[in-house]
Amino acid sequence: MSVILQAEAVEKIYGTDENAVRAVDNVSFGIQPGQFVALVGPSGSGKTTMLAILAGLLTPTNGSVFIGGEDVSKMNDAKRAQFHRRSIGFAFQSNNLVPYLNARENVELMLRLNNRLDKTGKQRAADLLDRLGLADRMKNLPGQLSGGQQQRVAIARALIHEPNLVLADEPTASLDTERAFQVVETFAQLIHEQQRAGIMVTHDLRMIRGVDRVIKMVDGRLAQIIEERAEIEAMAAASSANYAL
């Protein structure tokens, strides 16, 4: 089966000689269409650095990142920026919604940046917000929305331009438990339905119950890839039990 994302022997090294620090150390994995993956690990494990490399925000010291068959790690800044707008969606903890644009305009922004804001695009933005339970909030500014509603707008914006890859960095960190589960569930459903590749970095293992695979990093290295449904659910259940203590 084809893959949307392929990381090959990715390394990120800071410093030189005896001062060198391997933030990411020879990491390789692929993600297929319709797969929603959790990237987990303890603080300092390299997961956030890895996500930044996958997003093209950092250039790996060694190795390659292919998205839709294109080697993002070898692109120049101008081509990479254009590729980002077209092929990658972002949903981060801070949301980064434009405060003076309403919910629908924030979602449409990605279409505007890609010169695709036509009648069809506007309708797709409205339909996606409706799908996310925000039909009655389309004209609200971010400051008039709850944290969960803002995060759902960010998810819609990440998906509206039909990117190959969607990246989420701690998208539930600022939400209460109920809203967090709702956001992850919705994210997973849309990744599956639209056959995108999705990666979510999270420190909260309760949230992994909605993913298809778990990639665990430790000390910059790929420590484990978990694909068995029962094992993923057991990890999530154990984390939930710890939170309840």
Q: What is the Cα–Cα distance from 169 to 199, expressed in whole angstroms? A: 8
Structural domain range at position 222: 5-244
For 48, 70, 72, 81, the CA distances from 12, given in Å and listed in that order, are 12, 20, 15, 20
pLDDT number for residue 181: 87
Which residues are CB-neighbours of 183 under 8 A, at least 6 positions away? 148, 151, 152, 155, 171, 172, 175
pLDDT number for residue 226: 94
pLDDT number for residue 125: 94
pLDDT number for residue 111: 92
- For 157-169, how does the pLDDT look when each residue is reduced to its tens digit (9 = 90+)? 998 998 999 999 8
* CB distance 218 to 45 below 8 Å: yes
* Residue ranges of the chain with per-residue pLDDT less than 50: none
pLDDT number for residue 244: 64
pLDDT number for residue 178: 84
User: Which phi and psi angles does 107 have, rounded to 5°?
Assistant: -70, -45
- For 48-61, how does the pLDDT look when each residue is reduced to its tens digit (9 = 90+)? 999 999 988 889 99
| Total structural domains within the chain | 1
CA angle 64, 69, 75 (to 5 degrees): 55
Which residues are CB-neighbours of 179 under 8 A, at least 6 positions away? 146, 147, 148, 151, 172
Residue 180 is part of a domain; what is its CATH number?
3.40.50.300
What is the value of pTM for the model shown? 0.89
